[in-house]
Structure 1
Amino acid sequence: GGMSSVFSSSWSYVVQRPFFQQAKFTDTRRWRLEYAAGLILGALVWWLWLGDGSRETTQMPWWLLLAGGFLTGYGARRANGCTSGHGICGLGSLQRPSLLAVLTFMGTAFLTANLVTRWLA
């Protein structure tokens, strides 16, 4: 849902570099921050009232999660948005670059999944 733009527009409050001070970030940062807060609060409300209250856990080491987060963020920034943003918002507004991004990502993902599956089998 456009979270990489939310991330960049949020940084525009504290980082004065020209990239973060672009009008597309500074002019929209308030509603984007409200959107992100709504997602976080919505998840909290669901967890407290509708969920069973148990914590989600993983066996993945913290450093691997951190590395994956950095790689995902780097890829989203290089692609001018994350795949979900391109797929949901970009395709919904009929943007050709989003179609190319989604096709490239999905093609790479399908190929990688097949190669890894065959390699592990």
Structure 2
Amino acid sequence: MVESTLFTPWLAIIGGSLIGLAAVLLMWSKGRIAGISGIVAGALSERGEERTWRLSFLLGLFLGAILAAYFSGALAGVQSVASTPVLVVAGLLVGVGTRMGGGCTSGHGVCGISRFSQRSMVATVVFMASGAVTVFIVRHLLGEGV
């Protein structure tokens, strides 16, 4: 049986607010949309100051997550239910889907919807529906993680 998670609305509000703040600050300071897949792609291909801000943004994502997990104890006793090969394949599929969709959840879901982009609204509906279908297939048809 899958364990339920404790719903923490205040942490969700704080986390969502920080994501929104980061998106606004990036738009204000650099005129850029905080789409992580685009930031990663640029970090791999750009040079100079353009690359520096991208790497700094990505480093902040990792450090923020590590610090939050450390100080909250959120990762204590967490174990992956999937093997390393499954996680690698899943990560590659996410990357391929991101390229096919022309962006990721942060670019479309956070920044695109807030700008009333129809393309982003459609993309967000498609990847949310795809996620729901995938969870249904994995949990109920394949019996994984149950």
After TM superposition, the score normalised by the length of structure 1 is 0.69
Any unmatched runs of 5+ in structure 1?
15-25
| Residues in 1 aligned to 2:136 and 2:83: alpha-carbon distance in whole angstroms | 25
Identify the residue that residue 19 of structure 1 maps to in structure 2.
none
| Residues in 1 aligned to 2:92 and 2:124: alpha-carbon distance in whole angstroms | 20
Identify the residue that residue 40 of structure 2 maps to in structure 1.
7
1:48 aligns with 2:70: yes
The Cα shift of 1:9 comes to 0.9
| Residues in 1 aligned to 2:41 and 2:125: alpha-carbon distance in whole angstroms | 24
Distance 1:120 1:43, change over 3 A: closer
Identify the residue that residue 67 of structure 1 maps to in structure 2.
89
The aligned amino acid for 1:86 is H
Distance 1:94 1:56, change over 3 A: same
Q: Is the 8 A contact 2:35 2:107 kept in 1?
A: yes
Identify the residue that residue 57 of structure 1 maps to in structure 2.
79
The Cα shift of 1:32 comes to 2.2
What is the root-mean-square deviation of aligned Cα atoms in Å? Answer: 3.1
Q: Secondary structure at the match of 1:80?
A: coil
Distance 1:56 1:6, change over 3 A: farther
Any unmatched runs of 5+ in structure 2?
1-33
Provide the aligned length of Structure 1 versus Structure 2.
109
The Cα shift of 1:53 comes to 6.6
Distance 1:114 1:46, change over 3 A: closer
98, 103, 108: which one aligns with 1:81: 103
| Residues in 1 aligned to 2:74 and 2:125: alpha-carbon distance in whole angstroms | 38
84, 105, 114: which one aligns with 2:127: 105
Q: Is the 8 A contact 2:35 2:105 kept in 1?
A: no
| Residues in 2 aligned to 1:114 and 1:41: alpha-carbon distance in whole angstroms | 29
Identical residues among aligned pairs (%): 30
Identify the residue that residue 51 of structure 2 maps to in structure 1.
29
Kindly report structure 1 stretches of 4+ aligned residues shifted beyond 6 Å.
Answer: none
The Cα shift of 1:113 comes to 5.7
Deviations along 1:40-71, one digit per CA (max 9) or x if unpaired, are 11122223333267363213110010000000
